[in-house]
Amino acid sequence: MPISTRLRAGFTVAAVAGLALLGTATSALACTTDDSRAKPVEGNATTCAEAKVAGDLLGEGDLTVTGGTEKDQYLNVTAVGEGVTVTAIVVKGGPGFNVYVPGSRGMSATPPWEKLRSPINRGEQLPTISHWFACGTKTAPTKPPVSETPTTTPGQPTSEAPSTTPGAPATSSAPAGATSAPATTSAPAVVPAGNQNGTGGGLANTGFDNAWLFWVAGVLIVAGGGLLALLKLRRRGTN
C-alpha cells in the first residue's frame, strides 16, 4: 500500500475519533435536569431578560417560600401576594439554571409549587441552590366602593305635626254616647211690642199704668170676705 494511502487512512481515523471525543465532551458539558417540569439552560442568569422569560423581577415579599438558600437543594413556593401573577421562576445551581413556567410542562398554574431545583451537575448530582428569582406582573388590589350613608343633623325634627287651618271646626272630646248639653245664650228675652212697661196683653200702650188697681181690688175682696166670715161667727155666738 502506498505511503500516501496509509497517511490518508490514518488522518481519516483520527478525524473520526476526534469528532467522537468532541461529541462525548459536548454531551458531558450539556445541562440536564431530573425534573420534567423545568427547562434546563446552561450558564447563568440574574434577571428576567437574561433568562429570556416574560415579566418583571418580583420582590421577596411577593411570594411566600421555604428553602431556596445556598444550603438547600429545593425551593418551595406556598403562596403569592394579592394581585401578583408569576410568569416564571428561575433556580440557579451547578452548570446552569432551571426555568419553571406555571401552567407549563405539567406544572400547576397556581401554588403551591414544591421541590423546585437547579439542573444536575456534571457528576450527576443535584447541587445546592446558588440563587433564584421570580418574574411576573403586579396589579394594585381593587378596593370595594364605600357606601355613602345619609347624615342626620343633631336636633333636626324627624317629623312635623300637621298644621291646623284657621277656622276649622274643633272636634269634640266628649266620650261616645254622652248627650251634649244645649248651648245657653246670654241674649235678653224678647219683649212683645207694645208691652215694654209690663202692662200685659197685646193692647197698645196709652201711657197710663193701671196695675195698682188690681192690687187694691184684690185687697178689698180679701178684706170683704174676712168681714163676712167675722159677722157670721158673731151671729152664731148670739144665737
pLDDT at res. 141: 72
- In the predicted model, residues of the chain with pLDDT beneath 70 are 1-29, 144-211, 239
Please check whether residue 67 is in contact with residue 91, taking contact to mean a CB–CB distance below 8 angstroms. no
pTM: 0.51
Residue 117, CB-side half-sphere exposure with 13 Å CA sphere: 18
* Tens-digit pLDDT profile for residues 191-239: 444 444 544 444 455 555 566 777 888 888 888 888 888 888 877 777 6
Please check whether residue 105 is in contact with residue 36, taking contact to mean a CB–CB distance below 8 angstroms. yes
What is the residue whose three cell numbers read 450539556? 30
* Tens-digit pLDDT profile for residues 151-162: 555 565 555 545
